[in-house]
Structure 1
């Protein structure tokens, strides 16, 4: 029986931490230059909420700013993230390509479903040539509800997927699996939280562990 794997991007395949601080610092410097922010950069707060859609991120980080300013900040932040990716400052997690190669050899289908925005995701996919393995990468932008469970459901419906696992580091990934009757594999990586991972069916510390999990499916 063929299986599919639906991966999260940030904190699962891509080491967002390597560019997050840089881009966030640049974005808040932009606000400070316009006298619209006089405090430090809320990097720790951002790390705590990693995994939620960006519109919600800016509501939390900029609670007293207008929607227009949040949207401007979102655009500027995305530009800086993409710039850092193209400058080679990011990185995939260890063994991403090795695991992808193994899964394809086992005739598994690979997808990416992320709360990241489309242009950002495509930059990562293109820079690291993930399209060599990945059937499709979908963004939360493609779903009106901004709900990751609905995003995963869109892949299941489009490709008639019946047997799959969702691999991710945050509760939104685990919930997306559970709400669609799929196996939830939690990644104990940079942004993961113990209380969220406790709700996963399985927890891995390295993507290579998927090689031992696949035969058990």
Structure 2
């Protein structure tokens, strides 16, 4: 199905990283701050509803959740969420999906060039690198923060030429599929992550487990 692919671009949260393990408790901590400050009466979302914010940059998350919240409070709550996630990573609470490292090593050993492309911040990436041996498999890492949080498809467009063709984008959200479509490269949508089937419908292939990549690449 995918001919002459040389470089694989991977999203992180919801594609490799079972992010809800740290995101949900961190989100709850931010909600506690909002409740204490009088901006929220009670925790108003189920865990499943909270996960829909995964993969969004901070501004997008607040626009989707509480757009009426003053920007200063959004920033405070967002900082709490980010710090709590990073603390949970340092405490060993983060998890990759089962078979992730095995699959990435398999792909690297087959000669694919693996590139990390995430909407995360730089410090989040550094904590992830401390938690998992990501540098063993990825040859380069790109974060949204390093590019001023421009859209993912624009970041991909800026770095594509650094890596040999053909390229392939792999991720679990519409942003990942759009990144591939807008740069005219094939895409694989990960249905086990946090995007809906509608978000991923333009993907060239949908997989329900990261380990399925070994069947197609």
Same fold (TM over 0.5): yes
Q: Partner residue of 1:131?
A: 135
Residue 207 of structure 1 deviates from its aligned partner by 1.6
When normalised by structure 1's length, the TM-score is: 0.91
User: Which of 120, 123, 128 is the matching residue for 1:119?
Assistant: 123
> Is this contact kept in 2: 1:115–1:139, CA < 8 A?
yes
Alignment of 1:42-121 (within 5 A): 42=45, 43-121=47-125
**Residue deviations 1:60-116, cap 9 Å, x none?**
222222111111211111000011111111200111111111111111111111112
Q: Which residue of structure 2 lines up, in the alignment, with residue 156 of structure 1?
A: 160
Q: What are structure 1's unaligned runs of at least 5 residues?
A: none
Partner of 1:203: helix, strand, or coil? strand
Choose which of 169, 182, 194 in structure 1 pairs with 2:172: 169
The one of 4, 8, 28 aligned to 1:25: 28
Give the stretch that moved more between structures: 18-27 or 141-150: 141-150
Give the Cα separation in 2 of the matches to 1:182 and 1:209.
Answer: 20
- Determine helix, strand or coil for the equivalent of 2:206: strand
8 Å CA contact 2:57–2:149 kept in 1: the answer is no
Residue of structure 1 equivalent to 2:6 = 3
Q: Which residue of 2 aligns with 1:185?
A: 188
TM-score, length-scaled by structure 2: 0.91
- CA shift, 1:2, in A, is 5.9
Deviating 4+ runs (over 6 angstroms): none
